[in-house]
Amino acid sequence: MRILVLGAGLQGRAALHDLAQSEEVSHVIAADADLSGVSRFVDSLKAGRAKIELVQLDAHDRVQVAGLMQRADAVIVLLPVAFHAAIARLAVDNGIHLINSSYPPPEFQEIGRAAKERGLSVLPEFGLDPGIDLVLAGKAIREFDESDPSRAGRIRIHQFYSYGAGFPEPHAATGPLYYKITWTLDGVLKSYRRDARVIRDGKVVDIPGREIFAPSNTHTVEMQEWGAFEAYPNGDILNYLEMMGIATTVREAGRFAMRYPGHCAFWYTLAQLGFLEDQPLAVGGASIAPREFVRALLEPQLQFAEGERDVALIRVDVRGVKNGQKMRRVYQVIDRRDLDTGLMAMNRTVGYTASIGAQMILRGDIQKRGLLSPLTDVDADLFFKELAKRGITVQQFEYAEQ
């Protein structure tokens, strides 16, 4: 296997670490605009350094990108979303499979059709959230399939909740926000303005971005290890419900992010006051957007210290009926920072997952071609085994309900 990694930031380094450990991977090209950080990381690897080639990348240079693709069997794209459609077209044109960890833009439908004609797989949304959450969701929903043919077609799923979270371990949750970042704060703040869509009492409810932290839109989740967490809406659930075939029948559904208590009230106040807006304000002769000011002020204060660990969490909670019996299934993944490698849990669960996706496609574990979804096109049991090899375990719970 020859794999190209475009973007060697925090997630990209985790992908490189995983690819370097794989005996099936013979060569890895890691391309990034700034090689200083990744060069030090590669030098620190205990195994597989010799198979990694570092290349200075101009992602706008399609000739350079195409040339790199011609030396690979698959490309893992961990660049900003603005590059994704153009990079995906280049991948198909150059005859290689593509994997990324982001939501697919509309252009991916057309790109997926072209990929299918060429016998190629395009697998977006294959990181943590989206990614692991979607594989868990597909697995959980399929567990409610009726074994009795006479019950086929009956409403099976009543509630579908999916949770994703990245947070510091309790002893590392210092400071007034009890929160620290494992990726850019700019990305976090943008997600705090994203509109959401959930299902309540069988009806679609649209939630404006500035209202996602409102008390009426949040709820509490009790976690056995850490106690209560706040959950707030995170994006649009409807497309995934349609893919699972339950959009018109499920009564309650949503995708949520979780934080320590107090987070939602704090950010709801800031959102209402305009601190997350992008429109620049004139201040003392300078012009700055409120969100950019918040980022510049808080980002240095929300960094993990040496020896502190983050936690990455995915939880899928489904209630329904199978063979006439009410039941509840919960699938959960919890990972922590690896202090030996320095890789954060968020880096591992995104980068390792993308690496696994590339290897599963090239190994033949994923044989479908065209535009794929982790929800429907990844063998969950095989994927769980791959996670387990990397020390990431999937917990499964089943409860009979009255």
Contact 371, 111 (CB under 8 A): yes
145 confidence band (pLDDT: 50, 70, 90): confident
Using one digit for the tens of pLDDT, what is the confidence trace for 77-128?
999 999 999 999 999 999 999 999 999 999 999 999 999 999 999 999 999 9
Check whether residue 114 and residue 158 sit in a common domain.
no
**Residue where one domain finishes, among candidates 91, 123, 155:** 123
Spatial distance between the Cα atoms of 89 and 108, rounded to a whole number of angstroms: 9
Three-state DSSP at 388 gives helix
Check whether residue 218 and residue 178 sit in a common domain.
yes
Nearest to 376 by CA among 364, 384, 385, 366: 366
Amino acid 136 reads L
Check whether residue 108 and residue 230 sit in a common domain.
no
Nearest to 13 by CA among 354, 351, 396, 377: 351
pTM, two decimals, is 0.92
176 DSSP β-pair partners? none
Contact 115, 370 (CB under 8 A): yes
Spatial distance between the Cα atoms of 244 and 237, rounded to a whole number of angstroms: 11
151 confidence band (pLDDT: 50, 70, 90): low
Whether residue 354 lies inside any domain: the answer is no
Whether residue 362 lies inside any domain: the answer is no
Check whether residue 83 and residue 174 sit in a common domain.
no
Using one digit for the tens of pLDDT, what is the confidence trace for 348-395?
999 999 999 999 999 999 999 999 999 999 999 999 999 999 999 999
Whether residue 377 lies inside any domain: the answer is no
| Secondary structure (DSSP) of 274-291 | TTT--S-EEETTEEE-HH
Check whether residue 252 and residue 171 sit in a common domain.
yes
**Residue where one domain finishes, among candidates 123, 148, 170:** 123
Check whether residue 137 and residue 112 sit in a common domain.
no
Check whether residue 33 and residue 160 sit in a common domain.
no
Whether residue 220 lies inside any domain: the answer is yes
Give the CATH number for residue 8. Answer: 3.40.50.720
326 DSSP β-pair partners? 321
Give the CATH number for residue 266. Answer: 3.30.360.10
Whether residue 375 lies inside any domain: the answer is no
**Residue where one domain finishes, among candidates 77, 99, 123:** 123
Domain extent at residue 56: 2-123
Distances (CA, A) of 66 to 45, 70, 221, 308: 28, 6, 47, 40
Check whether residue 174 and residue 82 sit in a common domain.
no
**Domain count along the chain:** 2
Helix (H) or strand (E) segment spanning residue 134 = helix 132-142
In this prediction, residue 225 carries a pLDDT of 84
Check whether residue 254 and residue 293 sit in a common domain.
yes
Whether residue 363 lies inside any domain: the answer is no
Using one digit for the tens of pLDDT, what is the confidence trace for 258-307?
999 999 999 999 999 999 999 999 998 999 999 999 999 999 999 999 99
Check whether residue 119 and residue 139 sit in a common domain.
no
Whether residue 357 lies inside any domain: the answer is no
Check whether residue 338 and residue 226 sit in a common domain.
yes
Whether residue 300 lies inside any domain: the answer is yes
Check whether residue 159 and residue 300 sit in a common domain.
yes
